[in-house]
């Protein structure tokens, strides 16, 4: 289940950001608390802070972000908003997908101010919504194109098992000469191998993996209990091999990491810092871990998300059941899952290859 401590920290940081923002944004955030995660609300608040600070730096309004009135939002022009989006792209260096996320956050806020929030006299907070006139960047591309980009960055065939074995055993032989790195690897070898095996054997998201607790794993029925997007609880099945690696790690977890009875996180870090604190493994730590193994394995583009793609591709090739794969991955739309039907389209490849074959004399006369 999601780490309550982590959620508490997100809410603490959210409250600090809200101190710099106008009252109506705090009201909007309060309205969304029941439906959105603490991390998402924190992202929204930061996006609003960036936008309001930009308006002040541009001289569009004076004072602090908290001083920006509703009337100012109502008077913003499309040209001004487009200038902000250009600022995100050319001065901050945000990618198109990040710009879309920030613009979506603003669209959601302005929709709330125009269509949901009301003054005591039942009039809306704002009557004019400039964000409704600004379109998101079109990021659509064909599934075939997306699949083609993905193919060179995921595990196929023998590489699937080879990478799992490399993390469990091979990496140690590669770095044995570096005593410090070797000791660190020996400490975390079972944990790292279990985490990689779990993603390759279930397709879990990074956030779902780091939020797992010991009690979420059922070794007898081969599933883990996760909280998916939208705070939906789901039992996700794992391969027997993934569970074998997990069991090996769990058996040494308490003693090797000196885990206290209060710490129920499944994946934990080695003790760090002056206070020798042991804590839940963070998402960033997992990303860096995979980067390290991937580079040494010879696939530097491999990431934790690409391991999820690798599982999905292998699952589809073996089962060929898109609805079941959609449920396994926790996709809200089946269109998202359909991408895996376009990876390694062997039938299409074979049909094109046959075009280069000489025509049989018997067929030519038909």
Instruction: Just list the catalytic residues.
Output: 205, 229, 305, 308, 331, 340
CA 17, 18, 20, 25: dihedral to nearest 10 degrees? 130
Residues in contact with 54: Cβ distance below 8 Å, sequence separation at least 6, in sequence order: 84, 87
* Contacts by 254-257, CB closer than 8 A, 24 or more apart: 256/187, 256/190
Edge-first strand listing for the sheet containing 232-237: 217-218, 223-228, 232-237
Name the residue among 212, 235, 203, 205 with its Cα closest to residue 222.
235
359 φ, ψ to 5°? Answer: -75, 130
- Exposure of 210 by Cβ count < 10 A (0-12 exposed, 13-18 middle, 19+ buried)? buried
**CB neighbour burial string for 246-274, b if at least 16 within 10 angstroms, e if fewer:** bebbbeebeebbeeeeebbbbbbbeeeee
Alpha helices in the chain (DSSP H): 4-18, 23-32, 38-57, 70-75, 78-86, 96-115, 143-151, 157-165, 171-174, 179-200, 206-210, 240-257, 283-297, 304-319, 322-329, 334-337, 346-354, 361-364
């Amino acid at each position: 289940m999601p780490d309550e401590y982590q959620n508490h920290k997100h809410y603490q940081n959210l409250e600090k950001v809200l101190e710099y923002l106008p009252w109506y944004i705090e009201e909007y955030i309060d309205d969304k608390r029941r439906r959105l995660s603490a991390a998402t609300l924190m992202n929204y608040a930061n996006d609003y802070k960036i936008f309001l600070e930009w308006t002040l730096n541009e001289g569009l309004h004076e004072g602090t972000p908290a001083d920006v009135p509703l009337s100012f939002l109502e008077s913003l022009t499309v040209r001004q908003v487009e200038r902000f989006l250009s600022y995100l792209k050319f001065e901050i260096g945000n990618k198109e997908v990040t710009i879309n996320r920030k613009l979506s956050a603003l669209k959601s806020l302005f929709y709330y101010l125009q269509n949901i929030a009301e003054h005591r006299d039942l009039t809306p907070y704002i009557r004019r919504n400039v964000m409704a006139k600004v379109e998101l960047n079109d990021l659509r591309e064909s599934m075939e194109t997306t699949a083609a980009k993905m193919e060179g960055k995921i595990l196929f065939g023998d590489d699937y098992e080879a990478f799992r074995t490399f993390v469990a055993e091979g990496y140690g032989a590669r770095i044995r000469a570096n005593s410090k790195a070797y000791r660190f690897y020996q400490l975390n070898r079972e944990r790292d191998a279990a985490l990689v095996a779990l993603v390759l054997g279930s397709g879990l998201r990074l956030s779902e993996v780091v939020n797992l607790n010991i009690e979420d794993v059922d070794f007898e029925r081969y599933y883990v209990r996760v909280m998916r997007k939208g705070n939906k609880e789901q039992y996700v099945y794992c391969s027997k091999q993934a569970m074998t690696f997990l069991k090996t790690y769990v058996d040494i977890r308490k003693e090797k990491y000196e885990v206290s009875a209060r710490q129920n996180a499944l994946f934990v870090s080695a003790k760090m810092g002056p206070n020798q604190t042991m804590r839940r493994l963070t998402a960033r730590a997992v990303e860096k871990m995979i980067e390290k193994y991937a580079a040494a394995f010879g696939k530097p583009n491999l990431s934790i998300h690409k391991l999820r793609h690798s599982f999905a591709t292998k699952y589809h090739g073996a089962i060929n059941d898109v609805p079941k794969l959609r449920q396994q991955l926790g996709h809200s739309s089946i269109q998202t899952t359909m991408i895996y039907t376009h990876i390694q389209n062997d039938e299409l490849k074979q049909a094109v290859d046959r075009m280069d074959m000489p025509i049989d004399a018997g067929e030519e006369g038909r």
